[in-house]
Amino acid sequence: MREGTKGPLQVDILHRRVWLWDGQEAQAHRWPLIVRRDVATPTELKYSLSNAPAETSVSRLAFMQGQRYWVERALQTGKQDVGLGDYQVRSWRGWHHHMALVMMAMLFQLEERLRHRPTHPLLSGRDIRALLNQCLPRRDTTLEEVLRQMEVRHRKRQAAIDSAYRKQQLNE
């Protein structure tokens, strides 16, 4: 299927088209079902339904099902390295701004890892963040400054909470 850290990943694939009905629509729909079993661990099965067209080959369906690992890995890396799950916004626009910054940070890390792969093949996002923390200019802040900044954030947060509460009261 693909190269893994311990060598090639070999799998058995079963493909069938199945009928599913949700009980609400007028009729059932036919979907491709892909069942994957790793040759190394034959008791573990992975099931996936696909919305791919009927003419999609079994090898393509197997490849697409295997890409789930990379999607999950990217989300995990984003949460660990660049704050993908750390948003505290109250608006759709704020969420989009946060996600755009996260995606740019993830792109930067990917480009750096690719650029330095020949000399540092195990470079990770965490390594890049540590290097940036060490190399970028920073000013040392005092405890008073940190507390002052925290109070400003708390005032803004409370104002947002109060505003949301007032809007809720007006809509009732």
Q: What is the pLDDT of residue 110?
A: 93
* Neighbouring C-beta atoms of residue 36, cutoff 10 Å: 20
Q: Are the CB atoms for 9 and 1 separated by under 8 Å?
A: yes
User: Looking at the whole model, is its pTM more than 0.75?
Assistant: no
Contact criterion met (CB below 8 Å) for 20 and 51? no
Number of H helices, E strands in the chain: 5, 5
Structure-model confidence comparison of residues 57 and 8, the more confident one: 57
The answer to whether 49 and 36 are in contact (CB under 8 A) is no
18 pLDDT higher than 90: yes
Average pLDDT score, the chain: 86
Residue 119 CA from chain centroid, whole number: 27
